[in-house]
Amino acid sequence: MAFTCARDWWTGSTRSSVGHRSPNGLAPREIETLQLIAQGFTYAQIATMMGLSQATVDTYAKRIRNKLNVTNKAEITRIAVELGHLVEERFTKPAA
């Protein structure tokens, strides 16, 4: 299964939503981090993609785990799907 970011949850870029929190208390950068974790990126890859240090991404991940009351990446992914932060892409075979 492949997943992609569900940008519908936040209108526009998460970066333009500075100061706005989701109903579950996640800040926009935490949501962005959650989406990337749930897509299977490592913290080092996420740091590079977001232009942050790995320590900052580690902090975001810790905050996400605390706010969502989860303990690992699999649970983060499950919650991300349940909250609509990720959507499953359905691929169809091309017509023969």
Q: What domains appear along the chain, each with residue ranges and CATH number?
A: 2-12+22-89 (1.10.10.10)
- CA 43/CA 49 separation, integer angstroms: 10
- CA 90/CA 92 separation, integer angstroms: 7
User: pLDDT by residue (tens digit) across 25-70?
Assistant: 899 999 999 999 999 999 999 999 999 999 999 999 999 999 999 9
pLDDT for position 56: 97
Q: In terms of C-beta distances under 8 Å and separation of at least 24 residues, what long-range contacts does 20-26 make, across chains too?
A: 22/83, 24/67, 24/68, 24/83, 25/67, 26/64, 26/67, 26/68
